[in-house]
Structure 1
Amino acid sequence: MKMYYDADVETDALEGKTIAVIGYGSQGRAQSRNMADSGADVIIGVREGGKSWDLAKEDGMTVMSIEDAAKKADIIHILLPDEIQEKVYNEQIAPYVESGNTISFSHGYNIHFDLIKPGEDVNIVMFAPKGPGSMVRRTYEEGFGIPGLVAVEQDATGDALQIALGMAKDTGLTKAGVLETTFKEETETDLFGEQAVLCGGITELINSGFQTLVEAGYQPEIAYFETCHEVKLIVDLIYEKGFEGMWKDVSNTAEYGGLTRRETVITQEAKDGMKKVLQDIQDGTFKKQWADENATDGANLKEMREAEGQETIEIVGTRLRKACGLQKDD
């Protein structure tokens, strides 16, 4: 394991270079403002006249079209949604990329799956905060940062790693620590974590527990508190103290019950399912399915979103969160 901290990183490789952040969503807004506040020369490339254009201007950033930003920049940091990066890169960025430029990302998807193919005369790097944009910005303003990853796919200039680490430092990540990885490792583990545990796995586990209690005749509101609401409390303990620290903080009854019953729920069959999820990522099956989904303008995804909103746990949860003051009306 190779970790980099503030003391390990100089930002000399960024001197005299203009960084164009393409996209001003959660990560784009946070990363660009942090780098600018750290003294880097940052410009924003977005669609002219859109909401992001206006927001970036309100934030005091230098804003221009994606094409103009790509022309002006030495480092092009692409923070657009995965599904549109290829089209935007080919049509609005690639014609203006010059030899010696650096193409940068915070997720390796489009490089790892050969959707974006820069020439051999440019650097291809990544630095990836391990947290949402709001936390990237908030922790920076508090004088700290969140952990991150750094990777170099192609080093054309001999200082690609120093450039990526410099941006990571200016974003605040090296205060917490940046771990060196590869585009392949970051992409495949990130997709797996989202699908099998963080987004797909945990929502299915929560909903299955909720349904089990409701079908057994318990009040939906009580079921929601026991299977969904308290998940955050437990995850926060694990985040701060690890498994061992969490077990110490819950009751002995909870510890014994959890340790003796968890494999009844997460069985070998579930672990085999996780291996299938990983295999689909590694062999390109998921990449193809996601491309096919986007070719239909996300028709299936839209149906799934609508169905998710009609789940009983969502209806009950919305009512309870509002009753407890946790969720405000839109």
Structure 2
Amino acid sequence: MEEIKFLEGKRLTVVGYGSQGHAHALNLHDLGMDVTVGLRQGSKSWEKAENDGVKVAVVGEAVKGADVVMILAPDEAQPELYRSEIEENLKSGAYLGFAHGFNIHYERITPREDVNVFMVAPKGPGHMVREIFEGGHGVPCLAAVHNDISEDTRDIAHAWANGVGRRVGVIETTFKEETETDLFGEQAVLCGGVTELMQAGFDTLVEAGYNPEVAYFECVHEMKLIIDMVYEKGFAAMRDSISNTAEYGDYITGKKIITKESKEAMKGVLKDIQRGKFAKEFIEETENGYKFMNKERAEYSDSKIEEVGSKMRKMVFSK
């Protein structure tokens, strides 16, 4: 395949077999590439990767002699893994890849000067990247080059992106831009923003005495239907598909919810990301054994919206 020719004949190693790891490894393997998955001894993913048909080795052995090494372990685990298993085994002139710029941008990993460094970030969760690939389609990928001693690292990055994303499209970026926009999007919109919006809507209706099941459908369940229309056709087409009543309410109410204060808060979130405050706090959280995150997980798992949602999902998705 012309789009991935720069990977042909090369030994590829994917470190990690989680959400992104399995997608990268299997998509490239299905295209005939020589892929080895690097895992820690005793990893729960070892048997799964072998059953999926890819070669597996401990991280150090998988890295030795590899031409391209893509690190897809969790962000917080990468620095120690790089120092203990990857750095000394990475051959001179190899290509070192990441799917997120976090550790390079915040200088938690400083690669040796004799290796090329690139990034390929598929724009979708790993399980969807894999499912869409298996369906004969693909996802766009962001690509960036951090170090290019071989003067062809961009070609390697684009080949990897075209392989994993099945040639849908590659968007050029930088490690800085990808890191800061990705963190901002997750926190302010995709995860933090959307979940708090749905939670607040649900709570407002329930506290006003409305049926929790009806509140769940109106503020959570139907979110997917709207997002799917936006995803497939854009805002204008979505508004053309809903009722005039809903469209009118959209125009007059949206700005009451997302106010100037909301946008100022977003700017504050972005500033914390840009100056490394969020990264520092997240690293401290991991070193503290995820105490804050575990507390939040427990509270949300026991919340009213989860109780109602569990019942509603069983009804909607029962066979």
Which range, TM-score by smaller chain? over 0.9
User: In structure 2, what is the equivalent of residue 281 of structure 1?
Assistant: 273
1:125 aligns with 2:125: no
User: In structure 1, what is the equivalent of residue 305 of structure 2?
Assistant: 313
Match of 1:76 among 69, 79, 82: 69
Tell me the TM-score normalised to structure 2 length: 0.97
User: In structure 1, what is the equivalent of residue 59 of structure 2?
Assistant: 66
1:224 aligns with 2:230: no
User: In structure 2, what is the equivalent of residue 111 of structure 1?
Assistant: 104
Structure 1 letter corresponding to 2:25: S
- In the superposition, relative to structure 1, how do residues 312 and 68 fare at CA in structure 2: closer, same or farther (>3 Å)? same
Structure 1 letter corresponding to 2:47: D
User: In structure 1, what is the equivalent of residue 145 of structure 2?
Assistant: 152
Structure 1 letter corresponding to 2:56: V
User: In structure 2, what is the equivalent of residue 193 of structure 1?
Assistant: 185
Matches within 5 A, 1:237-256: 237-256=229-248
1:11 is displaced (CA, Å) by 3.0
Alignment partners' CA distance in 2, 1:172 and 1:313: 35
Alignment partners' CA distance in 1, 2:314 and 2:130: 27
Assess if the C-alpha contact under 8 Å between 2:141 and 2:165 holds in 1.
no
| Matched residue SS, 1:98 | coil
- Which has the bigger relative contact order, CA under 8 A and spacing at least 6? 1
Alignment partners' CA distance in 1, 2:43 and 2:109: 25
1:44 aligns with 2:37: yes
Structure 1 letter corresponding to 2:274: Q
Alignment partners' CA distance in 1, 2:254 and 2:5: 51
**Residues matched between the structures, number:** 319
Alignment partners' CA distance in 2, 1:141 and 1:14: 20
Matches within 5 A, 1:152-191: 152-174=145-167, 176-191=168-183
Match of 2:296 among 304, 314, 322: 304
Match of 1:142 among 129, 135, 139: 135
Query: Which sits farther off after the overlay, 81-90 or 313-322?
Result: 313-322
1:37 is displaced (CA, Å) by 1.3
| Matched residue SS, 2:64 | helix
User: In structure 1, what is the equivalent of residue 228 of structure 2?
Assistant: 236
Alignment partners' CA distance in 1, 2:65 and 2:150: 19
Assess if the C-alpha contact under 8 Å between 2:65 and 2:91 holds in 1.
no
- What are the superposed Cα offsets for residues 170-219 of structure 1, whole Å, 9 maximum, x if unpaired? 22342x21111111111100000000000000010001111111111111
Q: Percent identity?
A: 50
Alignment partners' CA distance in 1, 2:259 and 2:184: 18
Please list every run of 5 or more consecutive structure 1 residues that lacks an aligned counterpart in the other structure: 1-5
Assess if the C-alpha contact under 8 Å between 1:40 and 1:170 holds in 2.
no
- What are the superposed Cα offsets for residues 207-244 of structure 1, whole Å, 9 maximum, x if unpaired? 11111111111111111111111000000000011100
Structure 1 letter corresponding to 2:186: E
1:15 is displaced (CA, Å) by 3.2
Assess if the C-alpha contact under 8 Å between 2:143 and 2:157 holds in 1.
yes
Please list every run of 5 or more consecutive structure 2 residues that lacks an aligned counterpart in the other structure: none
1:23 aligns with 2:16: yes
Alignment partners' CA distance in 2, 1:149 and 1:278: 20
Alignment partners' CA distance in 1, 2:162 and 2:258: 39
Tell me the TM-score normalised to structure 1 length: 0.94
| Matched residue SS, 1:127 | strand
Alignment partners' CA distance in 2, 1:211 and 1:12: 54
1:24 is displaced (CA, Å) by 0.5
| Matched residue SS, 1:11 | helix
| Matched residue SS, 1:72 | coil
1:260 aligns with 2:255: no
| Matched residue SS, 2:270 | helix
1:99 aligns with 2:88: no
User: In structure 2, what is the equivalent of residue 3 of structure 1?
Assistant: none
1:315 is displaced (CA, Å) by 1.1
| Matched residue SS, 1:92 | helix
Assess if the C-alpha contact under 8 Å between 1:10 and 1:162 holds in 2.
no
